[in-house]
């Protein structure tokens, strides 16, 4: 990638104080989103993918502490901005959010029009007239294929199905013309036929509006459908990132290999991954997958988490990748 | 291949939900026909997959076969004997051989009871005595589902999603069922945990000689686990047959669209016309004739007038569509392998 990435997360370490001790939620997490790109963040529950997505929005759990790292967005370190500046300049305006549960994101007692128009007024770059905003919203609602968009403004959230509510929120997130959309499992609650429609819509809209997207999900199938690039997380670490086709067809990290081998489409025998995900209260040192990894060595327990270039545009966080890189460099040197 | 005997059979089963009068002064709301004439046969030792999107009636059908939901019409036979048309308590008693695993294991288990007590409860209700025998059975069953003896004293909140599924399985398997209805047995589980739970389910079937009705919306799981499948849409079975035949050559336009829409491990290339638009109509206001016609790309005027019967498309493969002979065979779309992008 030659051009400046739109979003770059570097070495992000985040811990949360709990009653039982300090939980190391994110450990040296790295993430890069190019302009116009759809990036999938995949992982099992508790791997920190939602925490990462929220960190980009500047929404942190209570008692959270950023131990190190930066989140660069449009050339600016978001971690250096005050919460007031995040609200005023970034959140909702430059970075839009599509939540998992559209029903919780809409206020049941206000009409759709009132809710979405208020958000547009708040996020508008220049003052605009109410009529102009209304016309723009109606056009957006039409674009997300909601029938009778003018009438939609006068309805309440309960009058829409799950898929329609998700369309409403997509329109709402796009209304401020953000540069980046963050979607946290937005299709998990939907049926497969509805899910496909929403994914196709998101794909078309990101192109049309020139928006990049970070799509958080646990579903490799959704990633395959939608994302250009995929980042896999495990226990708070980024373990692999690369072109989606390459990650799915030829995963290079032992965890990704084991996880994809669990998919019913792929598995020869359903084996699962032996062992348990470590507790963030007492994560193993070095590579957090090492205790379950068939290829673990002593080095793994000392190795600092980092993505190493292992194939074209493909980074892998593993000592095996270190060794492959060293071998390549030795080959070039000889 | 010799035909296995049928052990559980439903004929023209109809289930209505609601419709009871709530107050003297308000008229009753029309009941919803959640299951509208379903015929289904489960054979000895097989796993039959029941597939459909939310609201299609698959869970209601499962509960009715179990005997905790009363049928409005139709017949259910267990081992050839009619077990339908009975009062709820009697219906359940006659269907002891059928047990059900709830889709939300955490909600189905009492948080105040220890795991051991939860598993033992069924034995107490069934009148198994003495307590020593019950404890021995519970211990053996914990081991059979892959949980250590220490789990006996733990509580629901201490267990992970996969462990709770195992407890839920242990709980009903102690009652020695012959038929188990598994309602979304892996929904909400992570991929690596799902793999181990699915493997356990398959192993238990072989070891205990069980037959499964597996309710799921996950086509990858169904393809993996089931010998035969039935696809439901709005209370009716639209297609049923051997899993391999249906995945290779789905004949009903809904099955074709469903198979094409399901996410898979690689990018799917879909021919145009295989992406369904719109949403299913409300079960309160079903369209006349074929319920799928409002979303069907092949709908014709005749579809509004007649209810399509299940017709044999190939050996053991049945489809309920008036136009199925004219619809092109559309195998599951091919995958683009990752090679070109690597």
DSSP string, A224-262: HHH-SEEEEEETTEEEEEEEHHHHHHS--SHHHHHHHTT
Residue with tokens 């690039």: A229
Residue with tokens 């029941």: B50
Distance of CA B301 to the CA centre of its chain: 32
pLDDT band of A334, cuts 50, 70, 90: low
CA distance B186 to chain A (A): 12
Pairing of strands A95-98, B211-216: unpaired
pLDDT at A66 over 90: yes
pLDDT of amino acid B2: 57
Question: Using one digit for the tens of pLDDT, what is the confidence trace for B101-150?
Answer: 998 888 889 999 999 999 999 999 988 889 999 999 999 999 999 999 99
- Mean pLDDT, residues A2-11 taken together: 87
What is the token pair recorded at A204? 């078309």
pLDDT at A312 over 50: yes
Contact call for A249 and B266, based on CB within 8 A: yes
What is the SS3 assignment for A130? Answer: helix
Q: How many CA atoms lie within 13 A of A28 on its CB side?
A: 13
pLDDT of amino acid A156: 95
pLDDT of amino acid B341: 36
Contact call for A192 and B224, based on CB within 8 A: no
pLDDT of amino acid B335: 67
Q: Are B233 and B69 in contact (CB under 8 A)?
A: no
Question: Using one digit for the tens of pLDDT, what is the confidence trace for A164-221?
Answer: 999 999 999 999 999 999 999 999 888 898 999 999 999 999 999 999 999 999 999 9
Q: Quote the Cα angle for A256-A258-A261, to 5°.
A: 105
Q: At what angle do helices B131-144 and B115-125 cross, to 10 degrees?
A: 120
pLDDT of amino acid B340: 37
Could you tell me which residue, A188 or A49, shows the higher pLDDT?
Answer: A49
Contact call for B275 and A197, based on CB within 8 A: yes
Q: Quote the Cα angle for B294-B295-B299, to 5°.
A: 70
d(CA A10, CA A7) in angstroms, rounded, equals 10
On whether any CB of chain B is under 8 Å from the CB of A272, the answer is: yes
List strands edge to edge, sheet with B73-78: B32-43, B6-17, B73-78, B81-82
Contact call for A44 and B198, based on CB within 8 A: no
pLDDT of amino acid A1: 45
Contact call for A245 and B198, based on CB within 8 A: no
Task: Work out the number of other CB atoms within 10 angstroms of the CB of residue A34.
Answer: 18
- CB-CB: which of A161, A195, A248 is closest to B266? A248
The interface pTM score, or ipTM, of the predicted complex is 0.87
pLDDT at A245 over 60: yes
On whether any CB of chain A is under 8 Å from the CB of B269, the answer is: no
pLDDT of amino acid B333: 73
Question: Using one digit for the tens of pLDDT, what is the confidence trace for A255-297?
Answer: 999 999 999 887 677 888 988 899 999 999 999 999 999 999 9
pLDDT at A50 over 80: yes
φ/ψ (deg, to 5) at A122:
-65, -40
Is residue A257 classed exposed, middle or buried when 0-12, 13-18 and 19+ CB atoms within 10 A define those classes?
middle
DSSP letter for B317, please: E
Per CB-CB distance under 8 Å, the chain B contacts of A203 are none
Q: Which residues pair with B77 in a beta bridge?
A: B9, B82
Find, among B304, B342, B42, the residue nearest to B178 by Cα: B42
pLDDT of amino acid B336: 60
pLDDT at A307 over 90: yes
Q: Are A227 and A40 in contact (CB under 8 A)?
A: yes
d(CA A64, CA A34) in angstroms, rounded, equals 28
CA distance B304 to chain A (A): 23
Contact call for A243 and B341, based on CB within 8 A: yes
Which ranges of chain B have pLDDT less than 70? 1-2, 20-22, 27, 272-273, 334-342
pLDDT at A315 over 50: yes
pLDDT of amino acid A333: 65
The model's pTM: 0.90
A107-115, long-range: CB < 8 A, 24+ apart:
A107/A157, A108/A156, A108/A157, A108/A158, A109/A156, A110/A156, A111/A153, A111/A154, A111/A155, A111/A156, A112/A152, A112/A153, A112/A154, A112/A155, A112/A156, A112/A157, A112/A160, A112/A168, A113/A137, A113/A152, A113/A153, A113/A154, A115/A172
Give the A:B interface size as CB pairs under 8 Å: 130
């Amino acid at each position: 990638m030659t051009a400046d990435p739109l979003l770059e997360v570097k070495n992000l370490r985040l811990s949360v104080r709990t009653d039982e001790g300090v939980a190391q939620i994110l450990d040296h997490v790295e993430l890069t989103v190019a302009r116009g790109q759809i990036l999938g963040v995949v992982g099992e529950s508790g791997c920190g993918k939602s925490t990462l997505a929220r960190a980009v929005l500047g929404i942190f759990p209570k008692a959270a502490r950023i131990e190190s790292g930066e989140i660069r967005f449009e050339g600016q370190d978001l971690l250096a901005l005050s919460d007031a500046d995040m609200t005023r300049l970034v959140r909702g305006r430059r970075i839009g959010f599509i939540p998992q549960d559209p029903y919780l994101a809409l206020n049941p007692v206000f009409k759709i029009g009132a809710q979405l128009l208020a958000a547009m007024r708040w996020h508008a770059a220049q003052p605009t007239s109410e009529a102009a905003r209304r016309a723009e919203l109606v056009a957006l609602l039409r674009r997300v294929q909601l029938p009778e968009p003018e009438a939609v403004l006068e309805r309440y959230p309960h009058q829409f199905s799950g898929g329609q509510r998700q369309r409403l929120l997509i329109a709402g997130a796009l209304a401020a013309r953000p540069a980046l959309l963050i979607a946290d499992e937005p299709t998990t609650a939907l049926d497969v036929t509805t899910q496909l429609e929403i994914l196709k819509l998101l794909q078309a809209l990101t192109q049309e509006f020139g928006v990049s997207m970070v799509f958080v999900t646990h579903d490799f199938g959704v990633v395959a459908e939608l994302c250009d690039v995929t980042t896999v997380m495990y226990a708070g670490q980024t373990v692999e990132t690369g072109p989606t086709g390459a990650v799915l067809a030829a995963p290079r990290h032992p965890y990704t290999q084991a996880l994809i081998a669990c998919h019913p489409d792929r598995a020869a025998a359903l084996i699962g991954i032996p062992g348990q995900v470590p507790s963030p209260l007492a994560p193993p040192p070095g590579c957090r997958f090492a205790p379950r990894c068939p290829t673990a060595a002593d080095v793994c327990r000392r190795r600092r988490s980092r993505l190493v270039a292992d194939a074209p545009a493909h980074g892998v966080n593993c000592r095996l990748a270190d060794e492959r890189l060293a071998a390549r460099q030795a080959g070039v040197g000889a | 291949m010799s035909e296995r005997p049928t052990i559980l059979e439903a004929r023209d089963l109809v289930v209505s939900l609601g419709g009871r009068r709530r107050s003297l002064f308000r008229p009753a709301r029309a009941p919803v026909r959640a299951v509208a004439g379903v015929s289904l046969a489960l054979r000895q030792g097989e796993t039959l997959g029941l597939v459909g999107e939310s609201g299609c009636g698959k869970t209601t059908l499962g509960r009715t076969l179990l005997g905790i939901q009363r049928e409005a019409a139709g017949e259910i036979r267990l081992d050839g004997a009619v077990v339908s048309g009975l009062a709820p308590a009697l219906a359940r008693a006659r269907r002891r051989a059928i047990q059900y695993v709830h889709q939300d294991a955490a909600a189905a288990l009492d948080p105040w009871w220890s795991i051991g007590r939860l598993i033992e409860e069924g034995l107490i209700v069934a009148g198994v005595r003495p307590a020593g025998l019950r404890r021995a059975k519970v211990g053996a069953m914990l081991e059979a589902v892959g949980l250590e003896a220490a789990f006996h004293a733990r509580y629901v909140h201490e267990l992970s999603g996969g462990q709770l599924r195992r407890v839920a399985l242990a709980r009903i398997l102690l009652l020695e069922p012959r038929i188990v209805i598994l309602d979304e047995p892996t929904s909400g589980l992570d991929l690596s945990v799902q793999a181990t739970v699915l493997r356990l389910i398959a192993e238990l079937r072989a070891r205990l000689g069980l037959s499964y009705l597996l309710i799921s919306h996950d086509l990858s799981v169904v393809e993996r686990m089931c010998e035969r499948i039935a696809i439901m849409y709005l209370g009716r079975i639209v297609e049923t047959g051997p899993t391999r035949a249906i995945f290779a050559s789905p004949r009903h336009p809904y099955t074709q669209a469903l198979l094409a829409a399901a996410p898979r491990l690689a990018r799917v290339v879909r021919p145009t016309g295989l992406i369904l638009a719109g949403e299913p109509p409300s079960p309160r206001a079903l369209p006349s004739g074929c319920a799928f016609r409002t979303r069907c790309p092949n709908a014709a005027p005749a579809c509004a007038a007649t209810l399509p019967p299940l017709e044999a498309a190939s050996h053991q493969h049945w489809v309920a569509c008036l136009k199925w002979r004219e619809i092109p065979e559309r195998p599951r779309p091919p995958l683009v392998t990752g090679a070109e992008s690597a």
